[in-house]
Structure 1
Amino acid sequence: MDELAWVDPDAVIRLGGDIARYARAVPEVRHSVARGADAVGDEIRKELGRRIRKLDETERELRTCDVETDWRVVSELQLRVRAAGRAVDAARSALSAYTVARDRLDEASSRWRFDVEASNVEVQRRLAEIARDLDVYQRFALATAGHAAAAAPALGRVAVGRVGGGTSPSDSLQLPTGQHGSDAPAGLPAGYTMVPIAQVDLSASPVRGPADFKADTTPSDLEWALVALHDVVLPAMARGKDLEYFRDRDDREGLMGNRSYADTYVGFFTPGEALRFRLEPTGTYSVANGYHRIWTAQRSGLTVIPGQVVS
């Protein structure tokens, strides 16, 4: 070999870092879009309020007219009332259209975030494989060219974008959108399995939209928890980690409350908090606990969710 073709594995690693940073920026982009949409909704509501007040004022003015009032004045007031009523109806229609559009935006942005997270995990895995292959190639090429193999740069670790602060490839897991209940990942506690959402009977669910959530837990909190579950918690459990591990990791990464690994672990794998299902003779699962998490997972495009199957 007269010349050594050098392809730097670090270039692949830097690319992985750029992609991971993009994935971490997704929540802020979603929040920015949501804030803009909320500002539009607020303006529509304010305008509706102004038009309703104008209609009320005109109707009061019309009611104060006595029998001796010139008919032309009464006619003009009636025209003004009808015009004000049409303006109110138009504003209400605009608000209704905004509400529908806002719901669609929430659903689309949620799916977008999960798509980005899932794609990022897969891209990072493949980039890591490419970087390893390049490193092996460079070492072989250096050796056959008569150079010391130790001169080849050590392979860096590709940082996988996650919901938290630090990164570690060993803590990543592709979102299991194609996983079935019989394929439960290693590390699940006894009595837990991955339940196919398509087989869950949601006819009695009280959750129809974001308005059905309590103030202490929002849909975005549960979206965060689902990403944390599949990106960090399940892989760590497969390696035998317990609640103390997640608490220590939260301390290191500055996470707390609803958006922490410990809270996610407790919420999904502690009796009384975990999702509970009952397998019916029809082959479907009825829900004993967990409608909000199921609704969020379903809207986010997931097909399975961990829970207890009770008799």
Structure 2
Amino acid sequence: MTLRPAPLLALLLGLGVAGVVAGVLFGSTGWSDLGDDTMSVILWEIRLPRSLGAWCAGALLGLAGALSQGLFRNPLADPYLLGSAAGAELAVALTLAFTGASAAHASLLAEIGLTGLAFAGTLAGVGLTLLLARGAEQTLRLLLAGVVVGVVLNALTHLVSLWTPDILRAMQAFMLGNTGMLGWNSVAVMAATGLVAGAIGWLGSPALDALTLGEATATSLGIRLPLARLLLILAFAMATGAAVAQTGIIAFVGLAAPHLVRTLCPMLHGWLILLSAAAGGALLLAADVLARALIRPQELPVGLVTALLGGAYLTLLMHRRGVLRK
């Protein structure tokens, strides 16, 4: 089935609206009674910002996934490719270990916030990758540097966890993804970051289109590849950092959303970036509602749900294309 970009965008946004309504009305205890005063507070002050925040986080990851796949010309590239997730994990682990050392340090966490430090860790991981790769000139060098930085930072995170095992439970919640703490401030931060990152990505979409023809052709068309790569890396690092800082590590949304959009509607990167964001928002919001429903009154980590659904989708995609039959 092939759709045109505009109707597909309308469909994805409609699914997002339906997901927000379902997220507001449906909680871990089932469907809610709108006439109850206490329940009204829960709906508008807890569930509505959580649902909008889940959509924003998914949109950021879908946007980042489209940018990274276009930038590296690799359909398996995801937003965590350049050490962003590893940097966020290490920052969270160090913060939890540091603030747990004494009560005096707890004020630091209260002032800066765990989300701010996770965002800083994401940017630091990407910055280390760029430093190791000596800039953004060589795609292969960037990919290898991202792998090295990710492995080293993950090893340091495990080392910190071994030294301070009390942080393991909090780290597990961060690494499996969690939308339960999202509020109106989270929605505002992610929406603002998404607008900035989306604008940079849209302005850089002609460079991504040119890159599909090869680096030599893109250069001959007047594209300044090092500058374009640097700006696009900044855009998807900002988007990834904002999502990870607010919700933790959520798997497969940034990888699956661009795949789904390209399957339904082949297009240039200007539309792909916008549609991948809408698809990512709808996917994460659906996973969040499902995470509340499966084992209620308890909730599954939303990252676990997205990993299972994303893995099933990519396996089906590989089977349809005959990869698993060869």
Hey, which of these two has a bigger chunk of helix by percent?
A: 2
TM-score, length-normalised on structure 2?
0.23
Hey, which of these two has a bigger chunk of strand by percent?
A: 1
TM-score, length-normalised on structure 1?
0.24
Which is bigger in relative contact order (C-alpha 8 A, separation at least 6)?
2
| Higher gyration radius (CA) | 1
